[in-house]
Structure 1
């Protein structure tokens, strides 16, 4: 008898790395490299690391990322970008995001990684090189002749960025495990499991890493908040309904 389409898969099945469904184009932009990313950034995007690191090496000051055409991105893809940023810090360079799609924007918000990449001139969804938030004009006091601007503490700034990077990296494994739990429990694909987590996180106003901790605690018998259970169940039903509708249309 054939196996049901939504049968649960053991967690060991997650060890197989998916194919790379993303591409990048790198062009020189003065002292920096402009890297345009397209497609799906998940664990398979690790295959692009050599190209990303090569673009970083070719730059004098760092890499600007255009993520406006990334239609799917999960923690595996974010890990690739975080690794690039960490390498840039080691070389005394920077990695910024010039534009991002709504999918990438949600991921940056949920993981708290937005401030690591997005600069004041980063574009929002759809890709724009204008400031994402227009500053409100305020009166500028005339400085006294003796006053001198305080020099920037570069070491302190770098330490702050490294601490932020480490916090984002610590949340990634828990979120990946949580996605694996959802995949194994409900027999969902990696993309559908990610959709379930994002939906439940948004509808319960719970940070993604906190939601992941709740799901991991359930393995050891800790109760999952009732609101989270309800939203998870509703999200699972929704993705299955969407999959059935798509299958019916294809037939």
Structure 2
């Protein structure tokens, strides 16, 4: 199986800021090029970076972790990292994690120094996301099982996992482990089976 191509990350100067435009999927394999692109943009800018994620096909917490770390770096330099456009896949991650407001600069001006309380909260968020990444392999495996079992795309399988997790009141990685265990011959719990079926139906109904 050929590996999926990495994202295309375009960095260009625009006045005293740098504009970064990303096209493609932002997952665990895209973290290094995304980090390099944002670092280059921050170094080359005076006041910060405007980030266009309107053409991102998939986004997960690995990419969000990189964005949060880049934002912290920008604040330490008296700059900002602002999201100027986002795809629905990015919106979903921002809304689920409550981090959208961290990337808004309504006045269009850079913060002069980082607020200590803001930085403390940001560091906690980054640590939490890094811990969440430890569960990433089983979540990826469960997503692959859903794709193969129900003929879903990568983004659809992710939406099924999130939807079923929310309705079953089960942590995402616990649900993923249940799916993997079932695929390995285990007996699925009735509630999980019902929630997965309902989530698949819901995602298919919402798909264009």
Partners of 1:166 and 1:100 lie apart in 2 by 24
Q: Structure 2: which 5+ runs fail to align?
A: none
Question: Is 1:63 matched with 2:49?
Answer: yes
* Aligned residue in 2 for 1:95: 81
Partners of 1:39 and 1:100 lie apart in 2 by 12
1:75-154 correspondence runs (5 A): 75-88=61-74, 91=77, 93-117=79-103, 119=104, 121=106, 154=115
SS at match of 1:27: strand
1:1-251 correspondence runs (5 A): 18-20=4-6, 22-45=7-30, 46-88=32-74, 91=77, 93-117=79-103, 119=104, 121=106, 154-184=115-145, 187=148, 192-202=153-163, 205=166, 210-216=171-177, 226-235=190-199
Q: Where do 4+ consecutive residues of structure 1 move more than 6 Å?
A: 217-225, 237-240
User: Which deviates more from structure 2 when the two are superposed, residues 79-88 or residues 153-162?
Assistant: 79-88
Q: Is the 8 A contact 2:82 2:105 kept in 1?
A: no
Q: Is the 8 A contact 2:161 2:175 kept in 1?
A: no
Deviations 1:105-159 (A, max 9, x none): 0122234443443x1649xxxxxx9xxxxxxxxxxxxxxxxxxxxxx98222221
1:200 positional shift:
4.0
Q: Is the 8 A contact 1:116 1:164 kept in 2?
A: no
1:78 positional shift:
3.2
Aligned residues: 195
CA RMSD between the two structures? 4.1
- Name which one, 1 or 2, has greater alpha-carbon Rg: 1
1:58 positional shift:
0.9
**Which structure features the higher share of helix residues?**
2
Deviations 1:37-95 (A, max 9, x none): 22222334233432331111112332221111223323443344344335435645432
SS at match of 1:63: strand
